[in-house]
A and B are shown apart, each in its own frame.
Chain A
Amino acid sequence: MTAAFLIAAKDLRLRMRDRSAFVLGILAPLGLALIFGQILPDFGGGEFVIDVAVVDDDGSDVSSGFATTLSAVESTGLVDVRSVDDAGEARRLVDEGELDVAYVIPPGFGDAATTGRPASMSVIGNADGQTATLIAASIARSYADRITATQVAVATAIAQGVTDVPGVVSSAMEAPDPVTIADITAESKVLDSATYLAAGMAVFFLFFTVSFGVSSLIAERTDGTLPRLLAAPIGPGAIIAGKAIAAFVVGVVSMVVLAVGTTVTVGAHWGNPFGVLLLVLAGVAAALGIMALVATMAKTPEQAANWQSVVAVVLGLLGGTFFPIEQGPDALATVSLLTPHAWFLRGVADNAAAAGLAELAGPLAGMLAFALVATGLAATRLRRMVEA
Chain B
Amino acid sequence: MRKVLAIALNAVRRLLRDRSSIFFVFIFPMLLILVIGATFGGSFEPTLGVVAPDTALASELTEGLRQTEGLAVEVVVDADTLRDDVQRARIVAGAVIPADYDATLTSGGVAEIDYVAGPDQLARQLQAAVAAAVARQSRAILAAGVVAAIGDTPFDQTLQAARAAADSVPGVEVTVETTGESLFENLGRFDLGAAQELALFVFITSLTGAVALIETRNFGVSRRMLSTPTSSGQIIAGELLGRFAVAVTQGLVVIIGALVVFGVDWGDPIGAAALLVAFSLVGAGAAMLLGSMLSNVEQAGAVGVFAALGIAALGGAMVPIEIFPEGMKTVARFTPHAWLLDGFAELVRRGGTILDIGSQLGVLLAMAAGLTALATLAFRRRLTA
Contact = CB atoms under 8 A, between A and B. Distances in A.
A complexed with B: yes
Interface of A: 18-21, 23-24, 27-28, 31-32, 35-36, 38-41, 43, 45-50, 73, 76, 78, 91, 94-97, 112-113, 116-128, 130-131, 133-142, 144-153, 155-157, 159-162, 164, 167-168, 171-172, 175-190, 303, 306-307, 309-310, 313-314, 317-318, 322-329, 332-333, 349
Given A78-B121, A131-B70, A149-B138, A123 B110 contact: no
A248 to B, nearest CB: 21
B219 interface: no
B117 A120 contact: no
Contact of A135 (B95, B128, B143): B128
Given A119-B173, A125-B177, A184 B116 contact: yes
A94 B115 contact: no
Contacts of B185: 127-128
Given A142-B135, A144-B172, A185-B119, A28 B146 contact: no
B125 interface: yes
Contacts of B149: 171
Contacts, number: 365
B70 A152 contact: no
A9 to B, nearest CB: 21
A58 B70 CA distance: 29
A179 B38 contact: no
Contacts of B126: 135
A contact patch SS: helix
Interface in B18-53: 18-21, 23-24, 28, 31-32, 35-36, 38-40, 43-46
A21 B140 CA distance: 70
Interface stretch (B85-93, B254-262, B363-371, B373-381): B85-93
B121 A47 contact: yes
Given A40-B319, A186-B117, A171 B136 contact: no
Contacts of B118: 185-188, 190
A19 B299 CA distance: 7
Contact of B305 (A28, A36, A121): A28
Given A116-B170, A190-B88, A161 B179 contact: no
A307 B114 CA distance: 50
Interface stretch (B1-9, B268-276, B308-316): B308-316
Interface in B171-203: 171-185
Interface stretch (B159-167, B232-240, B243-251, B280-288): B159-167
B44 A130 contact: yes
B153 A151 contact: no
B135 A141 contact: yes
Nearest to A29: B306
Q: Which of A19, A40, A148, A323 gathers most chain B CB within 10 Å? A: A148
Q: Which of B43, B175, B323 gathers most chain A CB within 10 Å? A: B175
Given A118-B171, A310-B24, A178 B314 contact: no
